[in-house]
Amino acid sequence: MPSDPWLAQLQSTGCRLTAARRAVTEVMQSAERALTPVEVYDAARKRDPRLGLVTVYRTLEKLESLRLIQRVHHSQECQAFLKAGEGHQHILLCERCGRAVLFDGDNLEALFERVGEQTGFEIKSHWLQLYGLCEECRTG
């Protein structure tokens, strides 16, 4: 049983632990910003030079289905991945350097209730992303 929690979860769902999956996992775990499949590919080949791009796509798909990573949506594109938050966490993105920070807690229940009454919808889920400038980009 691997000590790394992501690898443990992969294994516990019947997956084999391969060099490719270790490399992609390490890249995604240590990333400070959302990465596209090609960016993951470039970074992960430093750990496993034989890695193919197809395997990156497949591994990202698997990690996403296990909710270990999530998609980040930018204005034009939504194919970048970031480690998933826990519970009610949301994403805060720096518009300048791309750094991604997860923050937790929101209290939007009152809003949902009001919107539900006004529209007749039954609100099932929500999705919130904030954009701004991180401390370094503001001061640097």
Partner DNA sequence: GTATAATCGAAAACGATTTTCAATAAAGGT
Partner DNA sequence: ACCTTTATTGAAAATCGTTTTCGATTATAC
Nearer to DNA, 21 or 83 (CB): 21
Sign, CA dihedral 118-90-97-39, equals negative
From a second copy, DNA, none, interface partner of 73 (C-beta below 5 to 8 A by class): a second copy
Q: Produce one character per residue of 17-49: b if its CB has 16 or more CB atoms within 10 Å, e if not.
A: eeebbbbbbbbbeebeebbebebbbebbbeebe
59 binds DNA (CB under 7 A): yes
Residue 138 binds which entry of a second copy, DNA, none, CB below 5-8 Å type-dependent: a second copy
Taking a C-beta distance cutoff of 8 angstroms, is the pair 68, 78 a contact?
A: no
Q: Which does 127 bind (CB under 5 to 8 A by kind): DNA, a second copy, none?
A: a second copy
DSSP 84: P
87 binds a second copy (CB under 8 A): no
**Does residue 84 touch a second copy according to CB under 8 A?**
no
Closer residue to a second copy in complex, CB, 53/115:
115
Count of CA atoms in the C-beta half-sphere (13 A) of 104: 6
89 interface partner picked from a second copy, DNA, none, CB below 5 to 8 A per type: none
Closest CA to 24 of 6, 1, 5: 6
Residue 92 interacts with a second copy (CB under 8 A)? yes
In the complex, least distance from residue 8 CB atom to DNA, rounded to whole angstroms: 11
